[in-house]
């Protein structure tokens, strides 16, 4: 069997299945219009300034990009008040998660986080021969920081906190995070995945930037895929104090962030107006969807992201199929052990209105069949 040739840990892994499974691609082609509400993309798209910068950068595609994305690191450093030397960039936050785990986890080391959460922590831990230790989120679907602390032992190397969490959209209070980080034993490093961090609207909420400045043992991961609308470009980054960023710089593949992507990311950081439009629209549409979903009898709480985690009180695998034939891709949550829940990205106003209409029609169709 060819599998015998594979690295042993690879046998435990499955390919990543996104909200838009390959088998659906053909069927999608037959649909007039598809609303992609399963992958938490930005429905308003990238900043026009980023588009212009990327178009310009394409002309220099025959040159390698800047080896370590110095211009982008300088720009981020200026915004956050952090030394550019304390950043590492990569091909999306996915690539950074791989990098962090490959840089810190030895075979047999444990990586602790809550579930449900982003699948890549599990996969990358297995790949390097580590052991994922998964703890159920609290009843209100939040990361259970006390339970994570209790699970730490001599083998623990990393604890990963997805904040806000995907797929639940919840966050933990910043003062609880701060206390948690300061209670970690010296042999444990915290990873704070803030892929959705820009969507947090709580005033004066501390993020990885503040924790880093306070000297806490945290590696923060961010991305340009969500609020900046550059998912197709693949730009992610991490920042941390010297002793944690150095191994990442050593392991990082050269030129991990391509020339066009870096130009887009730099220009996106300059377009505050576009970012504020994105955040305003997301909040407004979230409030509208929550109201409509509740009136349909679903349970849904406010989110700190660009998606909602909804108990739709029905088999969401089946519902996703019905919605798909009407041109909507949503993410059923049975894979996370929540068969009546779906994760639905917040779309444009028009997409959201059509989605609500489709849900009402499906419901009245089901009622008329009884």
Ligand X SMILES: Cc1ncc(COP(=O)(O)O)c(C=O)c1O
What is the contact surface with ligand X in residues (CB under 6 A)?
Answer: 40, 92-94, 118, 162, 166, 193, 195, 223, 225, 231, 236
On whether the CB atoms of residues 234 and 206 are closer than 8 A, the answer is no
**Least distance to ligand X, CB of residue 319, Å:** 22
Q: What is the number of the residue whose Cβ is closest to ligand X?
A: 92
> Which C-beta is closer to ligand X: that of 236 or that of 247?
236
Contacts 24+ apart (CB under 8 A), 274-278: 274/44, 274/46, 274/47, 274/48, 274/49, 275/47, 275/198, 275/227, 275/228, 277/44, 278/42, 278/44, 278/227, 278/229
**Least distance to ligand X, CB of residue 325, Å:** 25
**Least distance to ligand X, CB of residue 4, Å:** 32
DSSP-derived 3-state class of residue 243: helix
> Which C-beta is closer to ligand X: that of 234 or that of 359?
234
DSSP letter at 257 equals S
**Least distance to ligand X, CB of residue 92, Å:** 3
> Which C-beta is closer to ligand X: that of 118 or that of 328?
118
Taking CA atoms, 250 is separated from 44, 64, 135, 253, 254, in Å, by 36, 19, 31, 8, 10
Strand stretches in the chain, DSSP E: 35-36, 87-90, 110-115, 131-136, 156-162, 189-193, 218-223, 236-239, 299-300, 307-311, 328-329, 331-332, 341-345
> Which C-beta is closer to ligand X: that of 209 or that of 359?
209
Reading the block at residue 184, the tokens are 């970690």
Strand stretches in 45-168, DSSP E: 87-90, 110-115, 131-136, 156-162
> Which C-beta is closer to ligand X: that of 133 or that of 257?
257
> Which C-beta is closer to ligand X: that of 94 or that of 285?
94
Beta bridge partners of 329: 36
> Which C-beta is closer to ligand X: that of 137 or that of 166?
166
> Which C-beta is closer to ligand X: that of 13 or that of 358?
13
**Least distance to ligand X, CB of residue 193, Å:** 5
Dihedral sign for Cα atoms in the order 71, 277, 219, 19? negative
**Least distance to ligand X, CB of residue 202, Å:** 18
**Least distance to ligand X, CB of residue 235, Å:** 7
> Which C-beta is closer to ligand X: that of 16 or that of 63?
16
Does a cis peptide bond (omega within 30 degrees of 0) precede residue 116? yes
CA geometry: angle 67, 72, 78, nearest 5 deg: 135
On whether the CB atoms of residues 319 and 332 are closer than 8 A, the answer is yes
**Least distance to ligand X, CB of residue 83, Å:** 23
**Least distance to ligand X, CB of residue 236, Å:** 4
Reading the block at residue 100, the tokens are 């962090």
On whether the CB atoms of residues 220 and 189 are closer than 8 A, the answer is no
């Amino acid at each position: 069997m060819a599998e015998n040739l594979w690295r042993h840990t690879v046998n435990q892994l499955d390919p990543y299945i996104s909200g838009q499974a390959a088998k659906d691609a053909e069927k999608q082609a037959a649909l007039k219009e598809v609303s992609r509400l399963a992958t938490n993309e930005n429905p308003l798209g990238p900043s026009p300034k980023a588009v212009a910068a990327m178009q310009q950068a394409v002309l220099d595609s025959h040159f390698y990009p800047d080896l370590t994305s110095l211009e982008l690191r300088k720009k981020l450093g200026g915004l956050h008040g952090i030394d550019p030397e304390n950043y590492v960039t990569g091909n999306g936050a996915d690539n950074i998660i791989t990098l962090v785990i490959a840089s810190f986890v030895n075979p047999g080391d444990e990586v602790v986080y809550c579930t449900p959460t982003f699948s890549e922590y599990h996969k990358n831990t297995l790949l390097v021969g580590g052991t994922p230790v998964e703890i159920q989120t609290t009843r209100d679907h939040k990361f259970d920081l006390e339970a994570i602390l209790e699970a730490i032992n001599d083998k623990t190397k990393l604890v990963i906190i997805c904040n806000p969490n995907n797929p639940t959209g919840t966050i933990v209070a910043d003062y609880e995070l701060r206390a948690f980080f300061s209670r970690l034993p010296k042999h444990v490093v915290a990873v704070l995945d803030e892929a959705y961090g820009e969507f947090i609207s709580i005033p004066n909420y501390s993020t990885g930037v503040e924790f880093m400045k306070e000297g806490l043992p945290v590696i923060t991961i961010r991305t340009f895929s969500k609020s900046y609308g550059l998912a197709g470009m693949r730009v992610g980054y991490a920042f941390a104090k010297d002793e944690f960023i150095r191994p990442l710089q050593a392991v990082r593949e050269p030129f991990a962030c391509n020339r066009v992507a870096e130009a887009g990311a730099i220009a996106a950081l300059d377009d505050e107006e576009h970012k504020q439009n994105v955040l305003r629209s997301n909040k407004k549409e979230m409030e509208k969807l929550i109201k409509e979903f509740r009136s349909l009898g679903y349970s849904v709480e406010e989110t700190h992201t660009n998606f909602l985690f909804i108990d739709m009180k029905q088999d969401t695998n089946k519902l996703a199929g019905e919605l798909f034939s009407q041109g909507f891709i949503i993410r059923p949550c049975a894979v996370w052990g929540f068969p009546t829940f779906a994760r639905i990205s917040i779309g444009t106003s028009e997409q959201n209105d059509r989605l609500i209409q489709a849900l009402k029609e499906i419901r009245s169709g089901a009622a008329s069949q009884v």
